């Protein structure tokens, strides 16, 4: 992630809604998956055979809700994404601001990841699950939200784990000042909630004490979950990180709630396309 000092003040992680993800195949199982689902449930509105349902789906625009046969299976959840590795050069380039940012190592045994959001009847909710990479899109699944954990093998370099969460459980709902305009208020914030749109710093507003489904359709709305600082094990610093940011992290580590965290600086290997790490 890019280095943001504010993370070490609020410890907020964003759960990304389907509307904010950059892969058009996210939560897009095969049309056969949809046909199998509706035929199994005996919903024949869009056809009584697979071929009839295939034909209906193929007529729909990619952005049309009718491509999912009018359902909203994937509307109420979001994902926090993690990776298995700290030394993938592409990941540092794509997600840590060209090696100027950081990688945070979390303790998956911490209750935030292993207990807080777990649901007994849905054991895939609330704890990080490994993403499965494949060329073929899902035809069938063991549970309705399984498409969250399947991606094209083109993404395998990310070695991703996903933590699937109900967005209604978020600790804060934020929106950047650039998108917090009258149009947003009119479309997404009920008139009775206008006084609950509160500026929290120079860049962000928080939507307080309210949650409605209009927020889900706005890609600029951010659903944030607060992780405890004692869930953080280590912080790895990019090889291009600015000295002032390095010094700031060293200073932050002196805080009582962060003293347990180890800091590692990365550097480029002398001979190979690899990153080295050393503790500071």
Comparison of pLDDT for 77 and 201, the residue scoring more: 77
Mean pLDDT of 114-129: 90
What lies within 8 Å, CB to CB, of 198 at 6+ separation is: 205, 206, 208
Angle between helix 31-40 and 50-58 (nearest 10): 130
- The candidate with the shortest Cα–Cα distance to 124, out of 109, 106, 144, is 144
pLDDT number for residue 169: 93
Q: Tell me what percent of the residues of the chain surpass a pLDDT of 90.
A: 70
pLDDT in tens, 45-57: 899 999 999 999 9
Mean pLDDT of 184-211: 68
pLDDT number for residue 192: 45
| pTM for the full predicted model | 0.89
pLDDT number for residue 187: 61
- The candidate with the shortest Cα–Cα distance to 164, out of 150, 175, 176, 154, is 150
pLDDT surpasses 80 at 20: yes
pLDDT number for residue 96: 96
pLDDT surpasses 60 at 213: yes
Phi, psi at residue 197, to the nearest 5°?
A: -90, 100
pLDDT in tens, 64-101: 888 888 888 898 999 999 999 999 999 999 999 999 99
pLDDT number for residue 191: 47
Q: Which residue has the tokens 């699944």?
A: 141
Rg value, the chain, Cα: 21
- Separation in Å, CA 200 to CA 170, 172, 185: 17, 11, 17
Question: By mean pLDDT, which of 36-40, 232-236, 250-254, 258-262 is the weakest?
Answer: 36-40
Mean pLDDT of 266-275: 97
Q: Is residue 88 within 8 Å of residue 82, measured between CB atoms?
A: no
């Amino acid at each position: 992630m890019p280095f943001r000092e504010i993370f070490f003040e609020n410890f907020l992680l964003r759960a990304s809604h389907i509307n904010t993800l950059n892969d058009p195949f996210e939560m897009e199982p095969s049309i056969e998956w949809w046909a199998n689902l509706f035929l199994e449930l005996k919903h024949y509105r869009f056809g009584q055979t697979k071929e009839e349902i295939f034909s209906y789906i193929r007529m729909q625009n990619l952005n049309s809700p009718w491509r999912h046969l009018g359902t909203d299976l994937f509307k109420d959840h979001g994902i926090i994404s993690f990776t298995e590795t700290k030394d993938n050069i592409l990941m540092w380039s794509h997600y840590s601001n060209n090696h100027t940012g950081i990688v945070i190592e979390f303790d998956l045994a911490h209750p935030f990841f292993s207990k807080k959001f777990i649901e007994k009847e849905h054991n895939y909710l609330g704890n990080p699950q490994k993403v499965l990479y494949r060329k073929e899109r899902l035809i069938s699944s063991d549970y309705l939200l399984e498409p969250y954990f399947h991606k094209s093998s083109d993404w395998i370099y990310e070695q991703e784990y996903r933590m699937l969460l109900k967005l209604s459980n978020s600790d804060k709902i934020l929106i950047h000042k650039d998108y917090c305009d009258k149009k947003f208020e009119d479309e997404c914030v009920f008139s009775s909630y206008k006084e609950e749109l509160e500026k929290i710093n120079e860049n962000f507003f928080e939507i307080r004490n309210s949650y409605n489904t209009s927020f889900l359709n706005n890609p600029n709305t951010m659903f944030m979950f607060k992780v405890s600082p004692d869930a953080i094990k280590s912080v790895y610093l990019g090889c291009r990180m600015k000295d002032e940011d390095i010094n700031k992290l060293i200073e932050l580590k002196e805080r009582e709630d962060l003293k347990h965290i180890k800091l590692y600086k990365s550097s480029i290997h002398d001979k190979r396309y690899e990153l080295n790490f050393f503790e500071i």
